[in-house]
Structure 1
Amino acid sequence: MHIDFSSESGSAAEISFNQFLDVDMRIGEVIEALDFPEAKNPSYKLKIDFGKGVGVKKSSAQITVHYSKESLIGKKVLAVVNFPPRQIGKFMSEVLVMGFSDTNNNIVLFNLDKEVPNGARLH
């Protein structure tokens, strides 16, 4: 299945507000970023601290174009934390880091304009 995430694809199908509430998106802080040479596309293996309740989770993220491993340490990221884990090669990704595609389809993370605690939920 191919999903077109480009800005030209138009908006997605309408969902209910309750469906939106089912998607648990939270802020976490990257505490480790490692190369992931086995990945099909250039990626990092991340450990992200979502604070009390969710804890530390792992993710594979295709964000190597705009971010070095060093620049990711301490960075706050938004992730979906209630998808089932997904096997990516020999790595089990537990959360989906969210970002936007630039004009070359490389992922750009967003920046918060105020500090929020790890584990804060998007609403």
Structure 2
Amino acid sequence: MHLDFNPNSPPENNIEFKDFLNVDMRIGEVIEIQDFPEARKPSYKLLIDFGIGVGIKKSSAQITVHYSKEDLMGKKVLAVVNFPSRQIGKFMSEVLVMGFSDVDNEIVLFDLDKAVPNGARLH
């Protein structure tokens, strides 16, 4: 899932810092990838290990343009882990994998420049 917006426009509304703290974004490692042919837009089904405390979660991600299944195996991804689960077709997505829109509105994943453990929280 991604939202259409103009990256050159300023934010339309501000949030309180406490609202940001309520969004639990963590690093997890992709441990399994499956094609998701039933999805409306090309997607993968991901199984992601967020370590002790969060555990292993499922997600659907529209990232097939820039990433093959081989690219994703073992990749660290950033995800929101405290949104309610969302039914996508017959699949229940438990976390929202985060990415950025490129110039063609395709998703590019966040990439780390240093190692962090599974489950590390974004501050």
**TM-score, shorter chain, exceeding 0.5:** yes
Aligned to 2:19: 19
Match status 1:56 vs 2:19: no
| Change in 2 beyond 3 A, CA 1:13/1:93 | same
Aligned to 1:108: 108
Question: Cα RMSD (Å) of the superposition?
Answer: 1.3
Per-residue CA deviations over 1:60-87 (Å, capped at 9, x if unaligned) read 0000000001110000000000000000
TM-score normalised over the length of structure 1: 0.95
Runs of 4+ in structure 1 over 6 Å off: none
Structure 1 unaligned segments of length 5 or more: list them.
none
| Change in 2 beyond 3 A, CA 1:12/1:119 | farther
Q: CA deviation at 1:9?
A: 4.6
Q: Distance in 2 between matches of 1:48 and 1:84?
A: 16
TM-score normalised over the length of structure 2: 0.95
Instruction: Name the stretch that deviates more: 8-17 or 36-45.
Output: 8-17
Structure 2 unaligned segments of length 5 or more: list them.
none
Aligned to 1:37: 37
Q: CA deviation at 1:110?
A: 1.7
Per-residue CA deviations over 1:14-70 (Å, capped at 9, x if unaligned) read 000000000000000000111000000000000000000000000000000000011
Aligned length: 122
Amino acid of the structure 2 residue aligned with 1:32: E
